[in-house]
């Protein structure tokens, strides 16, 4: 595999979680650009405390970064990452296959979740990031069947060229490109790119936050990465976390 400059790969057979291993290595001084990849995870972690089932055959990796920014801005990496993964997958599927993003951290093929992103960070006493871990799971050959939002895999969607190594390299090239855009132009450009790939924009969505549910029209992505909804009263509300379920079928 030919990694883009600035990245180095640590390949493991099996680990508890590549995010946990990347954290341990970051704490031990591993440099930014280190990627921890494993063929299998025994305690893969998803967002909001969920489990990420991680059998052999799919792609699991975590990238250590050290962007020179505050902890509040690191959320922007969710959107950089999902746009990059969206572009990498779009290059692998047929032109008739829809690849999109769903707020806040999902990448979809034909409206089913194929990839998820888990960000973890630690900061220095000065408020700047000490390290940022961008963890990514991509369903290559299998996917969980019992999820509230439907999942899929590259193989299920007929993406025959589902070679893991090639996808990682492709992703990293797009990732680096979008980080450059973020550094040069700021989050506003990433926000526009993410919106152009988002499902549910302009449509009614349901947002689940723990036990609570809200419905409204998804009208925008805030400059802080929040989901902006117009609710029945006509008011605008900004949501910072939750799971989104589009209600309209287009």
DSSP-derived 3-state class of residue 149: coil
Q: Which residues, at least 6 apart from 11, have a Cβ–Cβ distance to it below 8 Å?
A: 37, 38
How many CB atoms are closer than 10 A to CB 185?
Answer: 11
5-13, 54-62, 191-199, 237-245 -> range binding ligand BTN (CB under 6 A): 54-62
Q: Under the criterion CB under 6 A, does residue 118 sit at the interface with ligand BTN?
A: yes
Minimum CB distance to ligand BTN smaller for 105 or for 217? 105
40-48, 69-77, 212-220, 235-243 -> range binding ligand BTN (CB under 6 A): 40-48
**Cα–Cα dist 147/224, whole Å:** 28
Q: Under the criterion CB under 6 A, does residue 167 sit at the interface with ligand BTN?
A: no
**Cα–Cα dist 131/122, whole Å:** 6
CB of 170 to ligand BTN, least distance (A): 17
**Cα–Cα dist 107/238, whole Å:** 21
Pairing state between β 204-209 and 243-246: antiparallel
Minimum CB distance to ligand BTN smaller for 169 or for 230? 169
Place of tokens 């050959």: 141
4-12, 13-21, 140-148, 175-183 -> range binding ligand BTN (CB under 6 A): 13-21
38-46, 146-154, 179-187, 238-246 -> range binding ligand BTN (CB under 6 A): 38-46
Q: Under the criterion CB under 6 A, does residue 18 sit at the interface with ligand BTN?
A: yes
The phi, psi pair for 8, rounded to 5°, reads -135, 140
DSSP 48: G
Taking CB under 6 A as the rule, which mask of x and - marks residues 58-77 in contact with ligand BTN? --xxx---------------
The sheet with strand 212-221 has its strands ordered as 236-239, 227-230, 212-221, 204-209, 243-246
Closest chain position to ligand BTN (CB): 116
CB of 196 to ligand BTN, least distance (A): 21
135-143, 159-167, 171-179, 203-211 -> range binding ligand BTN (CB under 6 A): 135-143
Tell me the number of residues near ligand BTN by CB under 6 A.
21
CB of 185 to ligand BTN, least distance (A): 27
Helix/strand/coil (H/E/C) assignment for every residue in 192-223: HHHHHHECCCCCEEEEEECCEEEEEEEEEECC
CB of 230 to ligand BTN, least distance (A): 26
Q: Tell me which residues touch ligand BTN (CB under 6 A).
A: 17-19, 41, 44-47, 50, 52, 60-62, 105-106, 116-118, 135-137
């Amino acid at each position: 595999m030919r990694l883009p400059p600035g990245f180095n790969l640590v390949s493991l057979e099996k680990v508890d979680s590549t995010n946990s291993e990347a954290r341990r290595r970051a704490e031990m001084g591993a440099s930014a650009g280190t990627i921890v990849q494993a063929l299998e995870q025994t305690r893969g972690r998803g967002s909001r405390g969920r489990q990420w089932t991680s059998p052999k055959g799919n792609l699991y990796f975590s990238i250590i970064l050290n962007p020179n920014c505050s902890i509040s801005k690191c959320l922007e990496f969710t959107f950089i990452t999902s746009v990059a993964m969206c572009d990498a997958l779009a290059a692998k599927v047929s032109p008739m296959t829809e690849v999109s993003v769903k707020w806040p951290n999902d990448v979809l093929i034909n409206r089913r979740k194929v990839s998820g992103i888990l960000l973890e960070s630690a900061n220095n006493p000065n408020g700047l990031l000490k390290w940022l871990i961008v963890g990514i799971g991509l369903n290559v050959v299998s996917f969980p069947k019992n999820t509230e939002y439907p999942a899929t895999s590259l193989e299920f969607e007929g993406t025959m060229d589902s070679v893991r190594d090639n996808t990682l390299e492709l992703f990293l090239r797009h990732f680096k490109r979008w980080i450059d855009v973020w550094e040069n132009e700021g989050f506003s450009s990433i926000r526009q790119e993410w919106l152009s790939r988002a499902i549910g924009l302009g449509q009614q969505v349901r947002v689940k936050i723990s036990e609570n549910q809200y419905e409204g029209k998804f009208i925008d992505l805030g400059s802080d990465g929040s989901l902006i909804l117009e609710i029945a009263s006509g008011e605008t509300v900004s949501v910072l976390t939750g799971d989104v379920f589009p209600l309209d079928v287009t």
